[in-house]
Amino acid sequence: MVYGILFAWAWLAVLAADRGGAPRRVTGAAVALAALTLAALRGYSMDYDGYIELFDAMVLFDFPYPERLFLAKEPLMSLLIDGILWLQAGPQLMFVVMALLAIAMKHEVFSRVFRGDTAAAWAVTLSLHFFLHEFTQSRVAVAIAACFLALLAALEGRRKAWLGWCLFGFGWHVSALLFMTVSTALWLPRRWRVVGYAAGTAVIGALMLLAFEWVGSIDLRVGEYEGGAGVSGLMIAVIALKLAMLALMAHWLRHAPVGSALASLVGPTLALVVCGLVMLLVLREVSSVIAFRFYEFFDAFSVFIVTGALLLRRPLPVVTALAYCVLGIVLQVLPDLFKDFVLAPWSSYVG
């Protein structure tokens, strides 16, 4: 019921901004605020208990720095938990801060790319990835949002900002290194970018194959991630269909205003999704879990193409974008990401 209200709110905001003459910045901010409320105040989700375990580990083990920085997996996550402990607050503050960071950064990117028309971007985000990332894999959500800002910085030629945002994302989740490696192609002349994307993807694939062979020989826990049974032929077919739809929408977006942020994003974001698919195909026999997570990370960049097609306001692009969103909702429902919504109790906010 709660999720249905959120989706209805988001898509009504799109209609209000498009047809009703409502202020576009206001409608987009209203949807972002609703999404933030659900992500920050949730009392349960698929990965919720795992984050509570990280918090409890930081409480239980009094390791010194710098070792303590990696007790909660990534440095900034460890620092966040230590900050919460210093404030004598409860673990729910983790979810509040991560949701606030991820959604605020994404909203900034959407505002710049779509010139304030953010309601559509948030409706698409909810349909495609919100319940996988912001609502479940919160650290990944922050890392992806930082990589969105890094992508804009790269396309604007700001190398220091690109590096800074990549490192900030890495501080939350190691997957930001995937983007950092592949996005170095954006610093090459345009005619060499395809080679750069291919080289970055090849480096990641080769390193992962070597890592599994070497680490697997000394740490049996790697076996938990081994095997290719988790990526079926049907999954590959669905992903291929999604890529074909994205390519079609990207083709329609070729007439986006020259010099606009959206025009410069179409090619790189499609390339990033393709890189994710290649990694999935290369690594799925070694580790279907990691291969699929790599693909999901890069697939998050598709939001720009789908939103752009929706905002073209022409029948074929809009229908294709809506069909893509429906497929995205189905793919979030199937793995049971839509857990029954419960508000976190007040006791989880206080130490």
pLDDT (average), residues 54-75: 87
**Integer CA distances (angstroms), 123 to 10, 304, 328, in order:** 5, 12, 11
Residues contacting 116, CB < 8 A, separation 6+: 24, 25, 28
Coil, strand or helix at 27:
helix
Tell me 143's DSSP state.
H
pLDDT band at 218 (very low <50, low <70, confident <90, very high): very low
Neighbours of 168 (CB within 10 A): 20
pLDDT at residue 86 in the model: 94
223-248: pLDDT as tens digits: 444 444 567 788 889 999 999 999 99
How far is Cα of residue 193 from the mean position of the Cα atoms in its chain?
23
pLDDT (average), residues 318-337: 94
Query: To 10 degrees, the CA torsion angle through 19, 22, 23, 25?
Result: -70
First and final CA of the chain: distance in angstroms?
A: 31
Burial class (CB within 10 angstroms; exposed 0-12, middle 13-18, buried 19+) of 214: exposed
Burial class (CB within 10 angstroms; exposed 0-12, middle 13-18, buried 19+) of 242: buried
pLDDT band at 217 (very low <50, low <70, confident <90, very high): very low
- Looking up tokens 């997570």 gives 293
Q: How far apart are CA 19 and CA 269, in angstroms?
A: 29
Q: How far apart are CA 305 and CA 42, in angstroms?
A: 29
pLDDT at residue 259 in the model: 53
pLDDT at residue 16 in the model: 85
pLDDT band at 285 (very low <50, low <70, confident <90, very high): confident
pLDDT at residue 239 in the model: 93
- With b for 16 or more beta-carbon neighbours within 10 A and e for fewer, the 43-60 pattern comes to eebbebeebeebbeebee
pLDDT (average), residues 68-93: 93
Ranges 11-15, 66-70, 73-77, 189-193: which has the least confidence: 66-70
* Closest to 302 measured CA to CA, from 161, 168, 132, 135: 132
pLDDT at residue 243 in the model: 97
What six digits make up the tokens of 348?
Answer: 């989880």
- Ranges of H-type helices in the chain: 2-18, 24-41, 48-60, 75-86, 92-113, 118-128, 138-155, 159-172, 176-183, 193-216, 233-252, 261-283, 288-299, 303-311, 315-333
pLDDT at residue 336 in the model: 87
pLDDT at residue 222 in the model: 41
158: left (phi over 0), alpha (psi -120 to 50) or beta: beta
pTM: 0.93
